[in-house]
Amino acid sequence: MIQDELLKALANVKTLNEIEQIRIQYLGRKGIITNLAKETDFSKLSPEEKKNFGQKLNQLKNFATDQIQETLNRLTAQNTATPQVHRLIDLTVSGSACSLGALHPISMVQMELEEIFEGMGFTVLDSPEAETEFNNFESINIPSDHPARDMQDTFWLKNDMVLRTHTSSNQVRALKRFGAPFRGIFPGRCFRYESIDPSHENTFYQCEGLMVDRDISVANLIGVMKTLLSEVFKRDVKVRLRPGFFPFVEPGFELDLNCLFCGGSGCPTCGDGWIELIPCGLTHPKVLEFGGINPNEFSGFAFGLGLTRLAMMKYGIRDIRYFNSGDVRFYEQFAPII
Ligand SMILES: [Zn+2]
């Protein structure tokens, strides 16, 4: 009877505290089993009966103690089931490296260029991507009826502004603001309505540069460009100038770089061994005038570095579409090695 009640009670316990309560209830100083001995009048029992009673009481106590201990063991095992998972942690295993983000290759080239130009005394200027028609075209000698506008398919905004087609749009803005002498670069994103293929993008990066001072000549232009390219490619590079037409320079040149892929012998990337890299020239007097500079006193040169193309050459990337692809696998290749 007592055994049944005890088993029934133990079957329902859920906490260690409940077990303790049951232990006290049955085996405590005033517990049910303990009381059995207290309540019995041994004087009325024969020696044989006393012996019998004693044996049965001990059996009952042992039974109760065993059952309570068993329940306790079961419950403890259940409670430690979750913490046992932690025992699987091996503190001696070396950690895995966190993955670091990577800089976009164009950002890397831009940062490098900025450092090189700053070393040559150039100011780095940030500028808006949405430009006035005047800054993007007229101020750099491209009037509305000028055929050069056809060369650049332009994204027009509803408010008659444009997404700048080059960062040359900053030349006059900078001259107006800083006057002469001036040397500065304008890195940034440009937009043209182009169909996209391995060598054309509608969104690309340029770094326009302008230097205005007294007695600036083509020799200064070539000197600065050669220094720049040697720094970027970490070796002596061969360049050549060809006549080129750009409305904001007179005379204008195409500066070609001896192909770094093939060394000048000709390959699918360059064709004849030379890569058109930097349109440049001496600043057109009209541009200086728009900037409030007297062209009889000052002269200058301007150049338009294609950051995107420079990044392609520097890192051996043969398809321009990777840059704006958003493909992390591409960018991850430029993560710093630690
Ligand atoms: Zn080549």
Full domain range(s) for residue 239: 105-323
Alpha helices in 46-104 (DSSP H): 47-79, 83-86
Question: Do 72 and 159 reside in the same domain of the chain?
Answer: no
Q: Which contiguous run of DSSP H or E holds residue 187?
A: strand 182-191
Distance 317 CA to ligand 1 centre (A): 13
Question: Do 110 and 206 reside in the same domain of the chain?
Answer: yes
Question: Do 133 and 212 reside in the same domain of the chain?
Answer: yes
Distance 306 CA to ligand 1 centre (A): 18
Question: Do 202 and 263 reside in the same domain of the chain?
Answer: yes
Tokens 């001995």, residue? 37
* Model confidence pLDDT, tens digit, residues 177-228: 999 899 999 999 999 988 888 878 899 999 999 999 999 999 999 889 888 8
260 band by pLDDT with thresholds 50, 70 and 90: confident
Distance 275 CA to ligand 1 centre (A): 8
Average pLDDT of the chain, as a whole number:
86
Highest mean pLDDT among 31-35, 77-81, 210-214: 210-214
Say if 17 falls within a structural domain.
Answer: yes
Question: Do 216 and 301 reside in the same domain of the chain?
Answer: yes
CATH number at residue 245: 3.30.930.10
Distance 333 CA to ligand 1 centre (A): 23
Distance 319 CA to ligand 1 centre (A): 15
Question: Do 215 and 136 reside in the same domain of the chain?
Answer: yes
Say if 332 falls within a structural domain.
Answer: no
Q: What is the pLDDT of residue 246?
A: 87
The number of folded domains in the chain is 2
* pLDDT greater than 60 at residue 113: yes
Question: Do 43 and 159 reside in the same domain of the chain?
Answer: no
Say if 94 falls within a structural domain.
Answer: no
Q: What is the pLDDT of residue 290?
A: 93
Question: Do 69 and 128 reside in the same domain of the chain?
Answer: no
- Please state whether 160 falls in left (phi above 0), alpha (psi between -120 and 50) or beta: left
Q: What is the pLDDT of residue 195?
A: 84
Distance 257 CA to ligand 1 centre (A): 10
Work out the average pLDDT over 157-167: 90
Question: Do 187 and 71 reside in the same domain of the chain?
Answer: no
Distance 312 CA to ligand 1 centre (A): 13
Work out the average pLDDT over 72-99: 72
Distance 316 CA to ligand 1 centre (A): 11
Distance 150 CA to ligand 1 centre (A): 30
Question: Do 39 and 159 reside in the same domain of the chain?
Answer: no
Residues 6+ apart with CB under 8 A from 201: 194, 308, 320, 321, 323, 324
Say if 169 falls within a structural domain.
Answer: yes
Q: What is the pLDDT of residue 220?
A: 92
Whole-model pTM: value is: 0.66
Distance 261 CA to ligand 1 centre (A): 5
Cα–Cα dist 222/32, whole Å:
108
Say if 111 falls within a structural domain.
Answer: yes
Last residue of a domain, one of 79, 95, 117: 79
Work out the average pLDDT over 160-178: 92
Question: Do 109 and 66 reside in the same domain of the chain?
Answer: no
